[in-house]
Amino acid sequence: MHAECSRGLGSALVGLAAMVIAASAAVAADPIRIGSFLSVTGGASFLGDPELKTLEMYIDKVNAGGGVLGRTLELVHYDVGDDVTKARTAVKRLITNDKVDLIIGGSSTGTTMAVVPLVEKEEIPFISLAAAVVIIDPVKKWVFKVAHTDRMACGAVFRDMKKRGLNDIALLSGTDAFGQSMRTQCLDLAGSLGIRVLGDETFGPKDTDMTPQLTKLRSVAGVKAFFIAGFGQGPAIANKNYRQLGMTLPLYQSHGVASKSFIELAGESAEGVRLPAAALLVAEKLRANDPQKPVVTAYKTAYESKFGPVSTFGGHSHDALLIAVDAIKRAGGVDKPKLRDAIEKTSGFVGTAGIVRMSAADHMGLDASAFRMLEIRNGDWVVIE
């Protein structure tokens, strides 16, 4: 039945295009094969677990709605843990054995970067779910990404500081990969936004007390605000220590702690803290006319009705899949060069991470508006306009 539909469509077109469509119609019953490699187990399972669940859920959804171009989507997935070698093997298998049409995956920057050379060599469209800016800068022909970069989070925080006249700040960052990426990007960006970082200290991700670092930073003259950039419980401990030391300067945290568990861990000390976060986190609190509101609310409802609290990471695979589906439709099939071009021309796609406008020079397509500044008041988020 599907084949007949596309054959009918094909006959309506003329010339070369008609021949191409007719040719693809012959195999139209074949599913479109989406390859995926995620960190579902291991240390990064908090990324891969919601990503896989979302991917499966939305592929079922697309198929229930009749598939794409009359073809169903089929997921071929390999769990690679934190292991870059496994990631490379998985992608090799996806390309040579499973013959997938495109690849979505790479929960972490490490597993993503490990497969980039392979993807470039084999010329297959690849949408990464990881965050670091190195994935798309410099631009790689076949590689795209959907997640925010750390640099954008720094920008959001610095612009908010600037607005409040807090130009001189102290930075406390984690020594883990996330904290160090934030530190590098923020220090790099600070000058151009007119922010001076007067104090710069770090903490170990498993440290239980950051009082010494904060005491040291407190003694730096001229500091008007504090910025803690880290992931996990470390920033929450630092936040508590900050209040315990009686420090009252405005305090910022990063998107690394943009989840309810941070408020739980930091308790009362979180009051008044500002941080950047994706729209998904505050879906209900967005203004009614916010273009992202329907998208993030729909995803949040769908995910939470099935699995429990939503995370931005699952949102990334939602965005990646729908960008791919949109591009397959525009490309009229899964011819790899055409699909790649179609992904690159994605413009105005509204995802959970923001509004995506890709180009040949920008394989992510998100701008600063993707991050919302939040303030924690009475144990809940308030969106700062």
333 pairs with which residues across the strands? none
The residue among 245 and 361 lying less far from another protein, judged by its C-beta, is 245
203-232: contacts with another protein (CB under 8 A): 203-204, 206-209, 211-213, 215-216, 219, 232
Closest CA to 213 of 169, 172, 168, 248: 172
The residue among 245 and 298 lying less far from another protein, judged by its C-beta, is 245
Closest CA to 74 of 104, 34, 30: 34
Of these, 12, 15, 248, 268, which contacts another protein (CB under 8 A)? 268
265 binds another protein (CB under 8 A): yes
Among positive and negative, which fits the CA dihedral 106, 111, 117, 118? negative
Report helix, strand or coil for 73: strand
175 binds another protein (CB under 8 A): yes
The residue among 96 and 208 lying less far from another protein, judged by its C-beta, is 208
Q: For another protein, what does the binding mask look like between residues 42 and 81, x meaning CB under 8 A?
A: ---xx-----------------------------------
304 binds another protein (CB under 8 A): no
CA–CA separation, 374 and 371 (whole Å): 9
236 binds another protein (CB under 8 A): yes
Question: Rounded to the nearest whole angstrom, what is the least distance from the CB of residue 321 to another protein in the complex?
Answer: 25
User: Which two tokens mark 20?
Assistant: 């191409």
H or E element that contains 163: helix 150-163
CA–CA separation, 157 and 169 (whole Å): 11
The residue among 264 and 380 lying less far from another protein, judged by its C-beta, is 264
Bond preceding residue 309 cis, omega within 30 of 0: no
| Total residues binding another protein (CB under 8 A) | 31
Per-residue 3-state assignment (H helix, E strand, C coil) for 341-352 = HHHHCCEEEECC
233 binds another protein (CB under 8 A): yes
CA–CA separation, 324 and 309 (whole Å): 25
Question: Rounded to the nearest whole angstrom, what is the least distance from the CB of residue 217 to another protein in the complex?
Answer: 9
Q: Which residues bind another protein (CB under 8 A)?
A: 45-46, 175, 201-204, 206-209, 211-213, 215-216, 219, 232-233, 236-237, 240, 244-246, 261, 264-265, 267-269
